[in-house]
Structure 1
Amino acid sequence: MRWGLVVVLTAAYPLLVYLGLGRFEPRWLALLLAALAVARALASPRRDPFWWWAAAAALLLAATTALINQAMPLKVYPVVVNLGLLLLFGASLRHPPTVVERIARLTEPDLDAAGVRYTRCVTQVWCGFFVLNGSLALFTACWGDDKLWALYNGLIAYLLMGSLMGGEWLVRRKVRAAQKATP
Structure 2
Amino acid sequence: MRTCLIVTLTLLTLAYPAIVYLGIQNTSPAVFASVLLIITLLRLFFSRGRADYRQTVILIVMAVYSFVTALINSEWALRMYPVIISFCMAAVFAITLFEQESLIEQLSKIAGKTITTNAKRYTRKLTGVWAVVLAANGVISLFFATYASLKTWAFYCGFLSYLIFAFLFFIELIYRQYYIKKYGA
Common fold, TM-score beyond 0.5? yes
- Give 1:108 deviation, angstroms: 4.2
The match for 2:125 among 118, 121, 133 is: 121
The match for 2:31 among 3, 28, 43 is: 28
Amino acid at match of 1:10: T
- Give 1:31 deviation, angstroms: 1.2
**Does the 8 Å contact 2:118/2:183 carry over to 1?**
no
The match for 2:91 among 87, 90, 95 is: 87
**Does the 8 Å contact 1:65/1:72 carry over to 2?**
no
Amino acid at match of 2:109: R
Task: Provide TM-score, normalisation by structure 2.
Answer: 0.91
- Give 1:27 deviation, angstroms: 0.9
Aligned-CA RMSD value: 1.5
Following the alignment from structure 2 to structure 1, what is the Cα–Cα distance between the partners of residues 165 and 43? 20
Structure 1 residues 56-65 or 158-167, which shifts more?
56-65
Following the alignment from structure 1 to structure 2, what is the Cα–Cα distance between the partners of residues 27 and 135? 24
**Does the 8 Å contact 2:90/2:131 carry over to 1?**
yes
Partner in structure 2 of residue 3 of structure 1: 6
The alignment-based identity, stated in percent, is 28
Amino acid at match of 1:66: A
Runs of 4+ in 1 over 4 A off after TM superposition: none
Higher relative contact order (CA 8 A, sep 6+): 2
Task: Provide TM-score, normalisation by structure 1.
Answer: 0.91
- Give 1:96 deviation, angstroms: 2.5
Deviations 1:21-50 (A, max 9, x none): 111111111112102211222233713332
Deviations 1:9-30 (A, max 9, x none): 1111111111121111111111
* Structure-2 change in CA distance of 1:131 and 1:26 (3 Å): same
Structure 1 residues 33-42 or 116-125, which shifts more?
33-42
Deviations 1:86-118 (A, max 9, x none): 111111000121111111223344210000000
**Does the 8 Å contact 1:33/1:74 carry over to 2?**
no
